[in-house]
Structure 1
Amino acid sequence: MSYPGYPPSGGYPAFPGYPPTGQESVYPPAGQYSYPTVPGGYPPAGGGTYPAAPPSAGYPGVAGYPALGGYPAPGGYPGAPQAGGMPPYPGAPTGPGFGVPPTGPGFGGYTQTPAQSYAGGGPAQISGYPGGQAPSPMPGPPAAMVQCTQGTIQAAPNFDAGRDAEILRKAMKGFGTDEQAIINVVANRSSDQRQKIKAAFKTMYGKDLIKDLKSELSGNVEELILALFMPSTYYDAWSLRHAMKGAGTQERVLIEILCTRTNQEIREIVNCYKSEFGRDIEQDIRADTSGHFERLLISMCQGNRDENQTVDYQKAQEDAQRLYQAGEGKLGTDESCFNMVLASRSFPQLKATVEAYSKIANRDLLSSIDREFSGNVERGLKAILQCALNRPAFFAERLYYSMKGAGTDDSTLIRIIVTRSEIDLVQIKQMFTQMYQKTLATMIASDTSGDYRRLLLAIVGQ
């Protein structure tokens, strides 16, 4: 097995001290310089063909290989350190299928047991990950690719708010409603464009678009369309308010929003909650939750997580040791230590801490949290770690369980599809397929019906 496209025709690239002077144009004998043995030998220098890049079983969120020239360049991915990861050059990978995949800090992977190779193999078993599996073979994009996210909804080109307002007016005017015309507009406009359509509708007709839509629609399709017309910050604040309003509390909604948003998003949500509902979100959380879960949510509400993308590996080692001593390494659990580390460290820093922890404790941090915590605080801490390791996988799992089994948790399905539609729904779809061996669209189609199904599928795409 060789890296696709490597070495280039004409010989090996000039890695320091390799190959030996005088042997630049020939392949080394099998087994020399750590190159794996390949049946039939390597293709002759300057000719032959190399295996094609594998399909999207490579890195989630990217069709085929990441756009980094194939496999990691010498030194790994840009910004990805070597610790526990790619073997250092000079010398090529050691072992069939390129050996153990990089699981070191800077690579977005769960701790894998047993180790999987790059070249195929089934899903890695992740003992601490709900559902028991991470996608094959490398769960999570490298640190350098964290920002390579994509929504299924893009701003429509040649957008005309007045024309769209007119289409919606005609769709609702007279007897009956043209739901397909409404779907065609709302599923193909960005959130900002939908706000402009609302304003144009009121200017043109002196009527409130949302009230008209509510009078024409009902059930889940009404909830979905109204969610699409809410500004994203308002929708998050509205969802949090409804999760704590009245009898009972929907703790999973609080976790899903407060444990996954950026600092700026959280601060905007907190301000919106105050201005739109006239309430203090911290007071509502204190009134509706208690104990360590309450403290974790209050920490999240501050929006003060370190967002420096540079990883301090010494601190990661210290944090890992601290977490071990606060949990597995003692009788009882020091919950405040877990709260402090998971609520304040940046996501890249947490990845490094997870890797260091697995070496200290001989167990991954997710499974340690399973053992040390229970209930909502356990779910909250694990949500933070899962987002640090692979955010699309976290949302893919939430979507799966919203539809699995009898009945559908439509509010969760709607909320995730709407809130991620312009951020990373493309990556969530790809993770969903890898984790559950079926497409998100297939599961939605089998679990929903009518205009509700048509609108969901229009947003998700095939």
Structure 2
Amino acid sequence: MAYPGYPPSDGYPAFPGYPPTGQESVYPPAGQYSYPAVPGGYPPAGGGTYPAAPPNAGYPGAAAYPAPGGYPGVPQAGGMPPYPGAPTGPGFGVPPAGLGFGGYPQPPAQNYAGGGPAQIPVGYPGGQAPSPMPGLPAAVVQGTQGTIQAASNFDAGRDAEILRKAMKGFGTDEQAIINVVANRSNDQRQKIKAAFKTMYGKDLIKDLKSELSGNVEELILALFMPSTYYDAWSLRHAMKGPGTQERVLIEILCTRTNQEIREIVNCYKSEFGRDIEQDIRADTSGHFERLLVSMCQGNRDENQTVDYQKAQEDAQRLYQAGEGKLGTDESCFNMVLASRSFPQLKATVEAYSRIANRDLLSSIDREFSGNVERGLKTILQCALNRPAFFAERLYYAMKGAGTDDSTLIRIIVTRSEIDLVQIKQMFTQMYQKTLATMIASDTSGDYRRLLLAIVGQ
């Protein structure tokens, strides 16, 4: 099966505005969490003191920050004030990052591997962290959420009958099809396919393909693919034939959990009779090849407990492998970014900023180029703020002339039951417009109606 225009031909640039030009050491951006803006960052240039915060400002439980004269336990040559109740010692002394890329709001660390509850950052009085997304419901901040939920009172036979009537006779009732597929989970859609064949002795996918065309066909067929198969199918088509769509490989292999990657690798073998690692080696080369091979092992540490001492050591190791030497030790970056858990990488990013006086994403920009740069940055972006990464991908799929429909479809479908709610929220905060507004202006007809139904508009 082949989808028109698949896979996409273009990709995405770096996150807009990250880091703020000339302000790599400024923490945090003005107006966030009541830190006063200080030119040149903290500590103020040429001085060893910090300005006092207004009473009752900042983190909960803090009557005020210490008066000018310095923060206890923080070297005056660098670093930032500890938040109230913070532990001290190596690797400590800064607030948990409340900001992601260039001022994007940052959710608390989450159990990405299992989609479980967020972990409260250590050191907040009473264990209560301030909301990193002011105005959002607590339930939204605390975990991830899809826009599509399993339908209650689900009846696969009834849905199969609705689809059969929608395609029977002259013309097609596309709205009836949309009403079903946009309001059923992927597991429920698989049951509808099975019921359709049992009831009518026909293949639902073949009937849909005969009735639909263009982008709406691609979107509906993607929705009816099992999730793992769709990822495996996307990877196969990214490497099939002349040329390679590297950004598709990055988007999938650098963002999925260990379990998802292992299932994708097995599905790729069983459905296409091919070894994904061999295909990657045949289609890519150099440090990018090695990064993707590391990713498709599905062996990233998924322990959600952060080892701050290790984060400090890794940050120092990365600095010595890049900014701190002539040339770059690419294998060191590969080792750390391919094996550490996402919460651990987030702590490493924070430690690196203190050591190098530059954020790690900027250092990767300086030390790498091309696809390996994109892959390494994607891993870090997912460690810091996964919904923001996908929001940015969606934005650039629609920005400018033309639309990268396959990227738009792939992300909307694959994230619809995982974190599309958070992706929508990040999209609005990053681009001052809603995802639905941009979809509506870039698409039309049944394709637009189905996309908007999936995103919850």
Question: Could you say which TM-score interval applies, normalised by the shorter chain?
Answer: 0.7 to 0.9
Check the 8 A contact 1:445/1:453 in 2, yes or no: yes
CA deviation string 1:113-158 (max 9, x = no partner): 99999999999999x9999999997699999998600000000000
Verify the 8 A CA contact 2:255 2:379 in the aligned structure 1: yes
User: What's the offset of the Cα at 1:292?
Assistant: 0.3
Give yes or no for contact 1:135–1:434 (8 Å, CA) kept in 2: no
Which string of whole-angstrom CA distances, capped at 9 and with x for unpartnered residues, describes residues 322-369 of structure 1?
Answer: 000000000100000000000000000000000000000000000000
Q: 2:8 touches 2:407 (CA, 8 Å); kept in 1?
A: no
Measure how far apart 1:196 and its partner are. Answer: 0.3
Q: Distance in 2 between matches of 1:341 and 1:124?
A: 23
Deviations 1:144-181 (A, max 9, x none): 99860000000000000000000000000000000000
In 1, distance between residues paired with 2:200 and 2:218? 23
Shift of 1:438: 0.2
Q: String of CA shifts for 1:375-425, please: whole Å, max 9, x gaps.
A: 000000000000000000000000000000111000000000000000000
SS at 2:91's partner residue?
A: helix
Deviation at 1:79, TM superposition (A): 21
Counterpart position of 2:34: 34
Mark the CA change 1:328 to 1:81 in structure 2 (over 3 Å): closer, same or farther: closer
Is the Cα–Cα contact under 8 Å of residues 145 and 417 in structure 2 kept in the other structure?
yes
Separation in 2, partners of 1:398, 1:366: 17
For the aligned residues, what is the CA RMSD? 15.3
- The 8 Å contact of residues 78 and 354 in structure 2, kept in 1 or not, is answered as no
Shift of 1:73: 22
Q: Is the 8 A contact 2:231 2:264 kept in 1?
A: yes
Which region of structure 1 is more displaced relative to structure 2, 109-118 or 238-247?
A: 109-118
Measure how far apart 1:103 and its partner are.
2.3
Task: Please tell me whether Structure 1 or Structure 2 has the larger radius of gyration of its CA atoms.
Answer: 1
Task: Tell me, in whole angstroms, the C-alpha distance in 1 between the residues paired with 2:8 and 2:279.
Answer: 62
Call closer, same or farther: CA 1:136–1:461 in 2, change over 3 Å. same
Write out per-residue CA displacement over residues 235-263 of structure 1, whole angstroms, 9 at most, x where no aligned residue. Answer: 00000000000011000000000000000
Greater CA drift, 212-221 or 135-144: 135-144
User: Given the superposition, is the C-alpha separation of residues 371 and 41 from structure 1 closer, same or farther in structure 2, using an over 3 Å criterion?
Assistant: closer
What's the secondary structure of 1:32's corresponding residue?
Answer: coil
Q: Given that residues 429 and 439 in structure 1 are in contact (C-alpha distance below 8 angstroms), is that contact kept between their aligned partners in structure 2? A: yes
Q: CA deviation at 1:461?
A: 1.5
Answer with 142-151 or 355-364: which moved more: 142-151
Greater relative CO (CA pairs within 8 A, separation 6+): 2
Number of equivalences: 455
Structure 1, gaps ≥5 residues long: 65-70
Kept after mapping to 1: 8 A contact 2:81/2:94:
no
Counterpart residue number, 2:99? 105
Residue pair 1:305, 1:343 contacting (<8 A) in 2 also: yes
Question: Does the CA-based 8 Å contact 2:82-2:93 persist in structure 1?
Answer: no
* Structure 1 residue 120 corresponds to structure 2 residue 114: yes
1:227 aligns with 2:225: no
Is the 2:25–2:41 contact (alpha carbons within 8 Å) kept by the matching residues of 1? no
Shift of 1:449: 0.4
Runs (4+) of structure 1 exceeding 6 A deviation are 1-64, 71-101, 104-126, 128-147
Query: CA separation in 2, counterparts of 1:7 and 1:411?
Result: 6
1:174 lines up with 2:172 in the alignment: no
Q: Which moved more, 1:47-56 or 1:396-405?
A: 47-56
- Quickly say closer, same or farther: Cα 1:28–1:264, change in 2 above 3 A: closer
Question: After alignment, is 147-156 or 45-54 more displaced?
Answer: 45-54
CA distance in 1, matches of 2:297, 2:285: 17
What is the Cα deviation at residue 3 of structure 1? 53
Q: CA deviation at 1:56?
A: 21
State which drifts further: 31-40 or 6-15. Answer: 6-15
Confirm or deny: 8 A CA contact 1:100 1:117 kept in the other structure. Answer: no
Mean Cα displacement is larger for which, 1-10 or 37-46?
1-10
